[in-house]
Chain A
């Protein structure tokens, strides 16, 4: 499709398990963002890539969170040793390099940690 694609849509993990969430951005969009949205809250910034370069990871809540975009296209957000507080919807968004702030969001990956 032409939009941002995320997988899996739903993930249930036991506390302590590692998870990997995938984002396939819109073709040609060089900027890619990850946001975390807790229940009843707005999205919160996690990290930003321009092509394969991770230019800002100031929003990652701990060193258990790791993101990569090795070829400047698909990105993976990995969470190690998941905790209950990691339960949230993880949103990926992409934008053209000269964007004015308009982000194109995927449908999100809902992570539930038991």
Chain B
């Protein structure tokens, strides 16, 4: 039973436009959410996070939105750049637990 779901395996966006990556979760104990970015043959790298006490967190071109009632979060990238092409993983953590639960990832392709 997947507790963190990324239902879109892939997404293509034109350079300069907005990329929106979505993530749903089922475990109501999750209270901290993260996005990781992964290039081929590299490990995932941390991108941005959000606590459940907030509904938005922004860092430069990246904004994460959290809708607790819908158990949904999204990552917005504006403007998208070709270097943003990568696999994006949504991850969640519950309370004092140390481990993260990851989604299956979305391959973002930004077309020049």
Contacts and interface: CB of A to CB of B under 8 A. Distances in A.
A106 B98 contact: no
Nearest to A43: B102
A100 B43 contact: no
Interface string A81-114: 0000000000101000000111111111000000
B100 interface: yes
What interface size band does chain B fall in? 20 to 34
A43 B49 contact: no
Given A100-B49, A101-B32, A102-B34, A42 B43 contact: no
A106 B43 contact: yes
B98 A55 contact: yes
Contact of B104 (A42, A101, A104, A108): A42
B36, B41, B43 — most chain A CB neighbours (10 Å): B43
B41 A101 contact: no
B90 to A, nearest CB: 8
B4 to A, nearest CB: 8
B45 interface: yes
Contacts of A40: 104
A48 to B, nearest CB: 5
A33 interface: yes
Contact of B89 (A42, A45, A59): A42
Interface of A: 4, 31, 33, 35, 40-45, 48, 55-56, 59, 91, 93, 100-108
7 contacts: A4-B43, A31-B98, A35-B102, A42-B102, A44-B102, A55-B98, A102-B46
